[in-house]
Amino acid sequence: MDKKKLGYWLFFIALFLGPLYLTEFRLALLGKFLCFALVALGICLIWGYTGILSLGHGVYFGLGAYCTAMYLKLEAAGGGLPDFMEWSGVTGIPAFWRPFANPAFALGASLLVPALLAAVLGFLTFKNRIKGVYFSLISQAVVVVFVTLFVAKQDWTGGTNGLTNFTTFLGFSLASPLVQIALYLITVLILGASFALAAALTKSRAGRVLSAVRDGENRVRFLGFNPTSYKVFVYSLSAALAGLAGTLFVLQVGLISPAMMGIIPSIEMVLWVAVGGRHSLIGAILGAVIVNSAKSFFSESYPDIWSIFLGLLFIIVVMFLPNGLVGAIESWKKSRKKSRQKGGTADAADSVVS
Amino acid sequence: MTGIKKFWGRQTIIAAVSAAALALSGCAASSALNEGEEKPAADTGGDTVKVGVLHSLSGTMAISEVSLRDAELMAIEEINADGGVLGKQIEPIVEDGASDWPTFAEKAKKLLQKDEAAAVFGGWTSASRKAMLPVFEQNNGLLWYPVQYEGMESSPNIFYTGATTNQQIVPSVTWLLENKGKSFFLIGSDYVFPRTANKEIKAQLEAEGGTLAGEEYTPLGHTDYSTLISKIKEKKPEVIYNTLNGDSNVAFFKQLKDAGITADDITVLSVSIAEEEIRGIGTDILTGHYAAWNYFQTTDTPENEKFVASYKEAYGDDRVTGDPIEAAYNAVYLWAAAVEKAGSFEVDAVKAAAGGIEFKAPGGTVTIDGDNQHTYKTARIGEIQADGQFKEVWNSGEPVKPDPYLETYPWAEGLN
């Protein structure tokens, strides 16, 4: 058996056994971080493997979360009007809210709405060969559009307060510790499955084309591939993962608001991947968990000055570990190996994302 | 051979990194077994009782919320110096909500489940309160929320020591209609409080004979008000009712003055500008405009004299007090009084005992309304003076009964 795979198995088994050694509160935190890890996994696919730097993944995360939150809100209202609509002066449930009373529709939409938006946006930009920093800027603009829209349509979206105060999911009380443990385990399973899927994708023929797109898009085009369709595909997949993460987040944290799809959270998502290592799927997952754990730990221990520590962490990573923690460990291993067997093969050039 | 070595190395590293990540994420994992499984309850075993203080100490809201933390810590110190509550010293646990709503929920959960805080004092924005509300209801905790807000809420696990609309906005609209003019222009930041407040103001204007000249919203942090001021010039309202929040106020008042509109031409009444904000905006452009609150630093009571003096002594002569600061200070005393009356730190007992609890607050006596867990407060309107303080021009005479759902106002019937 592949030893690398064994390591991954151990990691996910350790996560799966979390309820045995973590308190209810710490488990809920880890569950939240694993949702973020799922977003990071998607960003790693498009950034580390395909060279698309999206600074707007908060939107996909938010859309997924809102789709599920709409269902939860309707279930909490028990057939009546959700509370925020009542005090916003809405008299009947808006037509586009109605289908979300069906959980299957809501969960499906939480995957498909982000994926479709990403497909449309990706198609229009990638087809016109907009890439690099220009694409990043467009992704930021999309964030601004959505946040403004969600804040302004208070009677439909809950405005800045967002959607919160849910009671049950499919009839199970969200306040029950057992339900929370079950949701945590589901999150671990989904993260594990998504990781396996992403790993398989990167090893496949399509995955090699994605890396080739990153390293030389025009050459790929000259070889007869259509980079646009590959990029649209992986971008949509990444958006769907973010939407799925949003669903799991809203179920565990019980809250979604426009602030969470804003520019700062969107950039933070990229930072997680940068810290962990953007060329490594497991690095992205670890990055999300480590950065958020550090944030929680520092802010609990030093509530007045914790943000300085976190800033320091980011600066250290950017200055000294440009390929993140996993990247640093790998290059250290390589150099050690090289010094042992003189005349080994040269390092493959580490490509910098455009 | 190197292949095998490589794989083993890789695996060790992954295991090590995973272990590190897990250790970080579960920094309290070792104490897991000690914490037990039973429902969190107030931890009152020792000589101290823990309470949470949960405000934004970083991010955009820090500028406002840090003062609330200071006021709460001051009240706790005073009570401790006086012998504590039920003979126990209060031990505050300060947490940073970081102007981020899920963080507020996360820290609230931590304070209730891990620290077993008997009460939590915290929040400023409605969004942070809404984020914490389910956490307090699910864990049967106790949140004391000290800021005026838009009403339409009454959680069994929250005490609201700030004003609800009928203690601030409703009387100020009536006062404006009687003294300043009938034609209102509403401006506000685009979020829940201004939109809900304006909905109520419009209903009230219709019922009390006012007219609506216009209603405009700008995003939080917006700084260009030239278009909006042109609209105001065109509509010529007599009153501008201002629910803008934060930095936008600086830009709005400055551009209003630059456009040649002074307090003599159009009265601006604001509901989010207290002494602290006046310092930030600048007194020169605010002088002569009005604000509605329940407390001013200049409020003339013996309690306030002592409060202002202690606050300045503790945190510096340049610091000012203000309405939310006073409400945060009151909250700690009200909680302590309710605990003394209940003879217990248990949330249900404290809630049951809280109705009717009185406190001689700096802004006048406040009383907890047992039905909706808000407080009776005196409504006040002040004119901003050149020294950055308020001169009170009107007050309600006696504390106003809180009515978060505006049930006693016939014109508000369609609102909820």
Q: What interface predicted TM-score (ipTM) does this complex get?
A: 0.84
Structure tokens of B374?
């808000």
Q: Please report the pLDDT score of residue A113 as a whole number.
A: 97
Residues 43-102 of B with CB under 8 A from A: 57-58, 94-96, 98, 100-102
Average pLDDT estimate for B338-358? 96
- Whether residue A142 is found in the same domain as residue A73: yes
Encode pLDDT of B305-320 as tens digits.
999 999 999 999 999 9
Classify residue B28: in a domain, yes or no.
Answer: no
Residues of chain A where predicted confidence (pLDDT) is lower than 70: 1, 342-354
Structure tokens of A192?
């594990």
Q: Please state, in angstroms and as integers, the Cα–Cα distance from residue A220 to each residue in A48, A53, A353, following that order.
A: 17, 19, 16
Q: What's the number of CA atoms in the CB half-sphere (13 Å) around residue A245?
A: 34
Separation in Å, CA of B128 to nearest CA in chain A: 8
- Whether residue B90 is found in the same domain as residue B152: yes
B22 — contact with chain A (CB < 8 Å)?
yes
Residues 251-270 of A with CB under 8 A from B: 253-255, 257, 259-260
- Whether residue B98 is found in the same domain as residue B121: yes
Q: What pairing do the DSSP bridges indicate for beta strands A172-173 and A168-169?
A: antiparallel
Residue type, position A349, single letter? A
- Whether residue B76 is found in the same domain as residue B207: no
Q: Is A164 within 8 Å of A254 (Cβ atoms)?
A: yes
Nearest beta carbon to residue B18 from set A3, A11, A299 = A11
Nearest beta carbon to residue B191 from set A10, A159, A325 = A159
Q: Which residue from A minimizes the CA distance to B191?
A: A160
- Whether residue B188 is found in the same domain as residue B251: yes
Residues of B in contact with A3 (CB under 8 A): 7-8, 10-11
For chain B, percent of residues with pLDDT exceeding 90: 74
Classify residue B373: in a domain, yes or no.
Answer: yes
- Whether residue A309 is found in the same domain as residue A331: no
* SS3 category, A103: helix
- Mean residue pLDDT of chain B comes to 88
Of all residues in chain A, what percent are helix, strand and coil, respectively (each to 5)?
A: 75, 0, 20
B34 — contact with chain A (CB < 8 Å)?
no
Q: What's the number of CA atoms in the CB half-sphere (13 Å) around residue A269?
A: 36
Classify residue B220: in a domain, yes or no.
Answer: yes
Is the pLDDT at B152 greater than 90? The verdict is no
Torsion of CA B198, B201, B202, B205, to 10 degrees: -160
Classify residue B316: in a domain, yes or no.
Answer: yes
Residue B19 pLDDT grade (very low, low, confident, very high; cuts 50, 70, 90): very low
Q: Please report the pLDDT score of residue B4 as a whole number.
A: 39
Q: Please state, in angstroms and as integers, the Cα–Cα distance from residue A106 to each residue in A66, A102, A174, A259, following that order.
A: 9, 6, 17, 22
Residues of B in contact with A87 (CB under 8 A): 152, 196, 415-416
Classify residue A18: in a domain, yes or no.
Answer: no
Residue B45 pLDDT grade (very low, low, confident, very high; cuts 50, 70, 90): low
CA angle A126, A127, A131 (to 5 degrees): 30
A90 — contact with chain B (CB < 8 Å)?
no
What is the 3 state secondary structure string of B225-253?
A: CHHHHHHHHHHCCCEEEEECCCCHHHHHH
What is the total count of domains within chain A?
Answer: 2
- Whether residue B335 is found in the same domain as residue B353: yes
Classify residue A21: in a domain, yes or no.
Answer: no
- Whether residue A349 is found in the same domain as residue A204: no
Residue B20 pLDDT grade (very low, low, confident, very high; cuts 50, 70, 90): very low
H-type alpha helices, B26-156: 32-35, 62-81, 101-113, 126-138
- Whether residue A113 is found in the same domain as residue A236: yes
Q: Which residue from A minimizes the CA distance to B404?
A: A87
Maximal CA-CA distance, chain B = 92
- Whether residue A218 is found in the same domain as residue A116: yes
Separation in Å, CA of A201 to nearest CA in chain B: 21
Average pLDDT estimate for B62-73? 92
Residues of B in contact with A156 (CB under 8 A): none
Inter-chain CB proximity B192 and A33 less than 8 Å: no
Q: What are phi and psi of B219, to 5 degrees?
A: -60, 155
- Whether residue B184 is found in the same domain as residue B293: yes
Substitution target from B14, B132, B199 for chain A, most A beta carbons within 10 A? B14
Q: Please report the pLDDT score of residue A340 as a whole number.
A: 80
Classify residue B34: in a domain, yes or no.
Answer: no
- Whether residue A34 is found in the same domain as residue A176: yes
What is the total count of domains within chain B?
Answer: 2
Classify residue A11: in a domain, yes or no.
Answer: no
- Whether residue B285 is found in the same domain as residue B391: yes
Inter-chain CB proximity A175 and B192 less than 8 Å: no
Classify residue B247: in a domain, yes or no.
Answer: yes
Is the pLDDT at B23 greater than 70? The verdict is no
- Whether residue B185 is found in the same domain as residue B253: yes
Report d(CA A346, CA A294) in Å as an integer.
36
Q: What are phi and psi of B361, to 5 degrees?
A: -85, 160
Q: Is A261 within 8 Å of A59 (Cβ atoms)?
A: yes
Q: Please state, in angstroms and as integers, the Cα–Cα distance from residue B383 to each residue in B209, B253, B298, B361, following that order.
A: 24, 15, 11, 22
Neighbours of B47 (CB within 10 A): 10
Question: pTM score, two decimals?
Answer: 0.86
A88 — contact with chain B (CB < 8 Å)?
yes
Classify residue A6: in a domain, yes or no.
Answer: no
Structural domain of B399: 166-298+379-415
Report d(CA B356, CA B354) in Å as an integer.
6
Nearest beta carbon to residue A29 from set B6, B106, B196 = B106
Q: Which of B251, B255, B256 is nearest to B221 (CA)?
A: B251
B415 — contact with chain A (CB < 8 Å)?
yes
Q: Which of B415, B412, B3, B406 is nearest to B168 (CA)?
A: B406
Classify residue B6: in a domain, yes or no.
Answer: no
- Whether residue A184 is found in the same domain as residue A84: yes
CB pairs under 8 A between A and B: 179
Inter-chain CB proximity B102 and A32 less than 8 Å: yes
CA angle B191, A292, A265 (to 5 degrees): 35
- Whether residue B177 is found in the same domain as residue B266: yes
- Whether residue A348 is found in the same domain as residue A300: no
B219 — contact with chain A (CB < 8 Å)?
yes
Residues 1-40 of A with CB under 8 A from B: 2-4, 6-8, 10-11, 14-15, 18, 21-26, 28-30, 32-33
Q: Is B209 exposed, middle or buried (0-12, 13-18, 19+ CB in 10 A)?
A: exposed
Classify residue A71: in a domain, yes or no.
Answer: yes
Residues of A in contact with B96 (CB under 8 A): 299, 303-304, 306
Nearest beta carbon to residue A257 from set B101, B106, B416 = B101
- Whether residue B252 is found in the same domain as residue B275: yes
**Which range, of B118-127, B240-249, B284-293, B387-396, averages the lowest pLDDT?**
B240-249
* SS3 category, B141: coil
- Whether residue A353 is found in the same domain as residue A297: no
Q: Please report the pLDDT score of residue B32 as a whole number.
A: 34
Is the pLDDT at B78 greater than 60? The verdict is yes
- Whether residue B103 is found in the same domain as residue B170: no
Which residues on adjacent β-strands are paired with residue B243?
Answer: B188
- Whether residue A301 is found in the same domain as residue A314: yes
Q: Please report the pLDDT score of residue B412 as a whole number.
A: 85
- Whether residue A265 is found in the same domain as residue A346: no
* CATH code for the domain of B187: 3.40.50.2300
Q: What are phi and psi of B241, to 5 degrees?
A: -100, 115
Residues of B in contact with A255 (CB under 8 A): 101-102, 105, 130-131, 134
- Whether residue B370 is found in the same domain as residue B222: no
A299 — contact with chain B (CB < 8 Å)?
yes
Structure tokens of A340?
């042992």
Encode pLDDT of B237-248 as tens digits.
999 999 998 778
- Whether residue A121 is found in the same domain as residue A217: yes
* SS3 category, B215: strand
Inter-chain CB proximity B14 and A11 less than 8 Å: yes
Residue type, position B300, single letter? D
Separation in Å, CA of B288 to nearest CA in chain A: 32
Classify residue B143: in a domain, yes or no.
Answer: yes
Angle between helices A24-44 and A227-253 (to 10 degrees): 170
Nearest beta carbon to residue B57 from set A11, A148, A304 = A304
B221 — contact with chain A (CB < 8 Å)?
no
Substitution target from B18, B93, B406 for chain A, most A beta carbons within 10 A? B18
Q: Please report the pLDDT score of residue B280 as a whole number.
A: 82
Structural domain of A347: 325-354
Q: Is A136 within 8 Å of A53 (Cβ atoms)?
A: yes
Inter-chain CB proximity B103 and A8 less than 8 Å: no
Torsion of CA B130, B132, B137, B139, to 10 degrees: 170
Q: Which residue from B minimizes the CA distance to A288?
A: B21
Residues of B in contact with A29 (CB under 8 A): 25, 106
Q: Is B14 within 8 Å of A4 (Cβ atoms)?
A: yes
Q: Is B129 within 8 Å of B158 (Cβ atoms)?
A: yes
